[in-house]
Amino acid sequence: MREFDLEKRTTEFAKAVIRLCMALPYNSINNRLIDQVVGASGSVGANYREANDSLGKNDFKQRMRISRREAKESLHWLELMAEANKEKEVLIKPLLKEADELKRILSSIIDKFQ
């Protein structure tokens, strides 16, 4: 069963992305991809935390939308990373799944506040 504490889960996602990136060879393509995916994956949890400390319903929804957008962006960069590092697919595939699950969870939370 997946961890329900979303703050912890989003942090663990970002940590897993960092661990993946540390295992990749450094080259001009990976360097760019690493910068992007580390930023996006870390922003999922950062914006989720900000939503939890929001100033009101509208602020909450906006922060949640940003968090979801960062999850979608993480998916994008991870897909490109998988293309550039086919030999690391076994490490990237679970992160793609987690990014998609986080995106769906955040979408569900946003939909409840419409």
Q: Using one digit for the tens of pLDDT, what is the confidence trace for 59-105?
A: 999 999 999 999 999 999 999 999 999 999 999 999 999 999 999 99
Residue 29 is assigned to a structural domain of this protein: yes
Residue 1 is assigned to a structural domain of this protein: no
Residue 4: predicted pLDDT: 62
Residue 88 is assigned to a structural domain of this protein: yes
Q: Kindly report the CATH number assigned to the domain that includes residue 92.
A: 1.20.1440.60
Closest alpha carbon to 11 in 96, 98, 104, 108: 98
Residue 26 is assigned to a structural domain of this protein: yes
Q: Using one digit for the tens of pLDDT, what is the confidence trace for 11-64?
A: 999 999 999 999 999 999 999 999 999 999 999 999 999 999 888 899 999 999
Q: Structural domain tally of the chain?
A: 1
Range of the domain at 58: 6-112
Query: How does residue 113 score in pLDDT terms, banded at 50, 70 and 90?
Result: confident
